[in-house]
Structures are given as C-alpha cells and as structure tokens.
Amino acid sequence: MRVLVQRVIQAQVTVNHKVVGQIGPGLLAFFGVHLNDQPTVTTWLAKKLTSLRIFSDQQGKMNLNVTDIEGEILVVSQFTLYASCQNGNRPDFKQAALPELAFLLYEKFLSDLIPLIKKPLQTGVFGADMAISLVNDGPVTLLLEK
C-alpha cells in the first residue's frame, strides 16, 4: 500500500460538480493498493499517518502531528499510485489491485483511521472521477509505503 500525504491549508474533492469532502488545515492522503497487499497493513498506515510530526510547533520546528493541531484528514483512493512508466509513454497499472480488493482495503483503512482522529474523516468517492483542489502547506509531501 502507498499513501501519498500532503500537508494542506485546505483541500476538497468534487464529484459531478458536488463537493463530497473538504477539510481545513490537515492532511490530504491519496491511498493506493498493490495487487499483493494484505489487510494488516492498513492499521500500520493509519497509525503512521496520524503520528507523523509534520506540523510546526511554536518554535517553527516540525514537531506536531495532525491530532495535536486538531487538524482534519481527507482520504482519496488513487489506483494510479501504482502506475509504471518504465516502458513506453502510456502508464501501465498491472501492479494496482483489482477494484474489489482495493475497495475492501480502502474501507478498512478508513475504519482504522476513524478512532485515531479528533474530527470527522472526510473522503472522496471510491472509483469516481474526482476533481481535487488543495492548498499545499510548505510544501510538505511524503510517501508512506509498507
């Protein structure tokens, strides 16, 4: 599994011209599933995501996590995190999980996250064509993988 994390000032997801998820300061997490991923990994990723000390303390040092700042999290499923661009000019997605497995692990990741955060979890719509807007803070962008 891969989670591409961006520290944001704000972010939102729109599907069919309707906002389905939006946050203020916090984390935008793009979630991708490999075809060989196992359900046990979601718990580790949820804990890692909520524990990342990437927000500034009063001295300006990255020392606080998303719950310390009472920030929000927006999770968006994104199978293209497992695209390969090694051969040719068209990405292949052979390493991405099939939708059935990806959906199950996405749902498990969300359920693992909920008890770890102080605010309601925001999401996109699995498998939908989504428009995402964000204001990256820093910028800070990290890749979590297990």
Domain for residue 28, yes or no? yes
Query: Where in the sequence is the domain holding 111, given as residue range(s)?
Result: 2-134
- Residues of the chain with pLDDT > 90, as a percent, come to 99
What mean pLDDT comes out for the span 101-110?
98
Domain for residue 144, yes or no? no
- What is the band of 121 on the pLDDT scale with cuts at 50, 70, 90? very high
Give the Cβ contact number of residue 126 at 10 Å: 17
What does the pLDDT look like over 36-58, one tens digit per residue? 999 999 999 999 999 999 999 99
Annotated active-site residue 80? The verdict is yes
Q: Which of 79, 109, 122, 123 is catalytic?
A: 79
Domain for residue 145, yes or no? no
Average pLDDT of every residue of the chain: 97
Residues whose CB is less than 8 angstroms from the CB of residue 77 and which lie 6 or more positions away in sequence, other chains included = 30, 31, 32, 102, 103, 106, 124, 126, 127
pLDDT score at 85:
94
Domain for residue 51, yes or no? yes
Q: Which of 78, 109, 122, 123 is catalytic?
A: 78
Annotated active-site residue 31? The verdict is no
pLDDT score at 101:
97
Give the Cβ contact number of residue 120 at 10 Å: 10
| Total number of domains constituting the chain | 1
CATH of the domain at 62: 3.50.80.10
Domain for residue 146, yes or no? no
pLDDT at position 13 over 90: yes
What does the pLDDT look like over 56-83, one tens digit per residue? 999 999 999 999 999 999 999 999 999 9
Annotated active-site residue 78? The verdict is yes
> What count of residues does the chain have?
146
pLDDT score at 52:
98
pLDDT at position 135 over 90: yes
What mean pLDDT comes out for the span 104-117?
97
CA distance 131 to 75: 13
pLDDT at position 118 over 90: no
Note whether 55 and 103 are within 8 A (CB). Answer: no
Domain for residue 107, yes or no? yes
